[in-house]
Amino acid sequence: MKTNSLFFIITLFPVFTLVGQDNSDSLWVEQLNTVEISAPRIDGEDTRLPIALSVIGQTQIQKAQAQLSLQESLPFVPGLFAINPDNFAQDLRVSIRGFGARAAFGIRGIKILVDGLPETTPDGQSQLDNLDLGVVKQIEVIRGPSSGLYGNASGGVIQVNTEDPSSNFFAETRLLAGSYGLQQYQLKAGQQVGKFGYLIHGAHTSMDGYRENSGVKNTLLNGKFNLDLSEASKFRLILNHVNSPQADDPGGINQEAVNEDRRQARDRNLQFKSGEEVQQSKVGLVYEGIFSSKHQLQARLFYLSRDFNNRLPFGFGGIVDLSRSYLGGGFTYQFSNNSEKLAHKLKIGLDWDDQTDDRLRFVNLDGEQGDKTLDQEESFSNIGLYVLQDFEWKNFMIKLGLRYDAAKLQSADRFISNGDDSGEINLNNFNPIFGLSFQIHPAFNVYGNFSSSFETPTLTELSNNPNGQGGFNDQLNPQKANNFEIGFKGSSGKRVKYGLAVFYIDIDQELIPFELEDFPGRTFYRNAGSSSRKGLEFEGSVLLSSGLIAQLSYTYSDFQYEDFATENGNLNGNQTPGIPKQMASLGLNYLHSSGFFAIAQSRLIGELFTNDANTVMDSGYVLTNLRLGHSFGFSNWTLEPFLGINNIFDTRFNSNIRINAFGGRYFEPGAERNIYLGVKARFGD
């Protein structure tokens, strides 16, 4: 299979190179430009900042993509491993340098922001069922611990920036249909009219799914409204709503079941009708003021409401009814002083977040709600204060930062017939960040940094108590990590862009998922004594000829337990499960001046262990995808039909691994070769 994928890329290379003579690279150069990014909280050029960064542009995110999962946009980010794009009940799992690999569902330990507002709750959970890829223009990824910037659960950062209203009116529709009953409809429109601008977008997706019991229905609505009081004073209102009445969970199965029928669901998931329903609304208000060339102020306030119902594949406590409210805000003040000899930026900020989860559990009677087994209110409030400073002197850049977070976790037990399990936990932590870069040449920068992360267990992890009682699991401790990194990066005109990073991470009290025979299908957590992570990351893009760009990324990861003993034995020296030792991606992007485009991507995922004992390994694989299309322009209209072929060589692989699953149910088989067809029509600029 690897030979076939390599042959595919080598074959396409000369074909793309020889098609036509008058080519255009206007859509692809975003991958080669040095760009200003905001994820490190003080804006700067990505190639100069002394931290490992990756930037994904709008073309990579939206151009002929199915727009079903953020994973589609992330294959060339080294150090980032994204799996489980097909199980919409469990959501996408993303890990950066191993942070987030423990998640049984959703994303843990990584800070995710959309337009500067957090999607990650203060306890460290993120769900992306409300992320609308149809309006995303740029994704910025900080690869490594960043609690000095964003506080709790910042083993890495993903900042998503959406489109702004355009200067002229436009309206756009996009229709998509594909394998496994896929249907998707999108509408988008926007305009800047004087001081007022708007961008609105709606999308509906439905799909039966590759496996039995894996269907989904999802409707997204987004609005972005700008009011420019003056050139120096602006308000931005952000609205988001998602309604997902169906997201089925086929569950993990063992290797024998995979060999028997890859598309089958686990029998207990069918019996208990496993799946979820979600409704979520979010509103955010951001103010930005520039009072002079030296003084800037930003203030933000947001509120999120989430209603979640989940049917798990077991009886006692197998139905979860969760109502979440999340209120947060903050402000930043930045002082900038640029002299001929020294450029200095100082930023002082405060983040305030308050999360309340009203959690109910009931007996699951084959998909029907039975007696109540748990009723408790859980809260996580956090205040974070930070100061950051960037200095630029000649060819040197220095980044300094320190953040203090104070968190309060509370559990109020309202189901006291079996005793009162209420409790409270107070946590606080300082996290520093230090980085230094030196520009040897305009196209070559070397850097080094030290950073740290602090990660509390989430409220869900704390409430999953192995003793079967309510309240919090008082045996769980926060995870702490120190990151040491060196590297080099740069760009040469609009032809080459590259970066290489080598890191070592020391982790104390790493949070580990596991399952128990008495609660099959339910995930619990414990701490390992200590772990270490060593790795190398490379990414590069090259303009081979006009209209043709090649991309390459490579990751080597050596993650292992240093001190970890369980009732099953001593696991010192074992590899951390759920993370492949090697990953690589190769892509070719071609655009002809006539409007024809072709995008080929091939990704190697190395073998990985499925459990802490390292007794079962998931085989490595290569996946190759292809997108083709043509843009036709006439008058004020643009029409773009396109075709996508995923897993073009029909590789057998597992799209998700359930770490330490009881009974060997580690595997969720991925989809076979599948296609989608779409068309986008746009009126306006």
pLDDT surpasses 60 at 44: yes
Taking only the tens place, the pLDDT of each residue in 188-239 is: 999 999 999 999 999 999 999 999 999 999 999 999 999 999 888 999 999 9
Give the confidence band of 415 by pLDDT, cuts at 50, 70, 90: confident
pLDDT tops 90 at residue 242: yes
| Beta carbons within 8 Å of 194's beta carbon, 6+ residues apart | none
pLDDT confidence band for 363 (50 / 70 / 90): very high
- 189 Cα distance to chain centroid: 26
Assign 670 to helix, strand or coil.
Answer: coil
Report residue 658's pLDDT band, with 50, 70 and 90 as the boundaries: very high
Q: What is the pLDDT of residues 130-186, one digit of tens each?
A: 898 999 999 999 999 999 999 999 999 999 999 999 999 999 999 999 999 999 999
22 has a pLDDT exceeding 50: no
Helix, strand or coil for residue 460?
helix
What is the structure's pLDDT at 421?
80
Residue 27 — pLDDT band, cuts 50, 70, 90?
low
For range 555-560, the mean pLDDT: 97
Once rounded to an integer, what is the mean pLDDT over residues 303-331?
A: 95
Does residue 464 or residue 542 have the better pLDDT?
Answer: 542
What is the structure's pLDDT at 6? 44
Distance CA 537, CA 574 (A): 22
Do 274 and 305 meet the contact criterion of CB atoms below 8 Å apart?
A: no
Residue 452: phi and psi, rounded to 5, are: -145, 165
Question: Tens digit of pLDDT for each residue in 514-524?
Answer: 887 777 677 88
The residue to which tokens 């070559």 are assigned: 444
Centre a 10 Å sphere on the Cβ of residue 36 and count the other Cβ atoms it contains. 10
Q: Is the pLDDT of residue 23 over 50?
A: no
Determine which of 137-141, 305-309, 516-520, 559-563 has the lowest per-residue pLDDT on average. Answer: 516-520
What residues have CB less than 8 Å from 204, skipping those under 6 apart?
Answer: 184, 185, 218, 219, 220
505's tokens: 């991470």
**pLDDT (tens digit per residue) in 53-74:** 999 999 999 999 999 999 999 9
Give the model's pLDDT for residue 28: 62
Using only the alpha carbons of the chain, give its radius of gyration: 24
Structural domain count of the chain: 1
pLDDT for residue 148: 96
Q: What is the pLDDT of residue 26?
A: 56
> If you ran DSSP here, which 8-state letter would residue 211 be given?
S
Percent of the chain having pLDDT more than 70?
A: 95
Task: State residue 228's pLDDT score.
Answer: 93
Work out the mean pLDDT of the chain and round it to a whole number: 91
Residue 381 CA, chain-centre distance (Å), reads 23
DSSP for 151-202 reads -TT-SSEEEEEEPPPPSS-EEEEEEEEEGGGEEEEEEEEEEEETTEEEEEEE
> If you average pLDDT over residues 656-670, what whole number do you get?
93
Tokens 């970890």 belong to: 564
- pLDDT band for 361, please (50, 70, 90 cuts): very high
Q: Are 201 and 186 in contact (CB under 8 A)?
A: yes
For residue 13, name the pLDDT band (cuts at 50, 70, 90).
very low
Collapsing DSSP to helix, strand or coil, 257 comes out as helix
Q: Which one is predicted more confidently, 299 or 292?
A: 299
- d(C-alpha 494, C-alpha 269), whole Å: 51
Q: Over 80: is that where the pLDDT of 82 sits?
A: yes
Domain of 444 in residue numbering reads as 2-684
Instruction: Count CB neighbours of 27 within 10 A.
Output: 18
Tokens of 60: 């990579």
Compute the average pLDDT of residues 487-512.
Answer: 92
CATH classification of the domain holding 311: 2.40.170.20
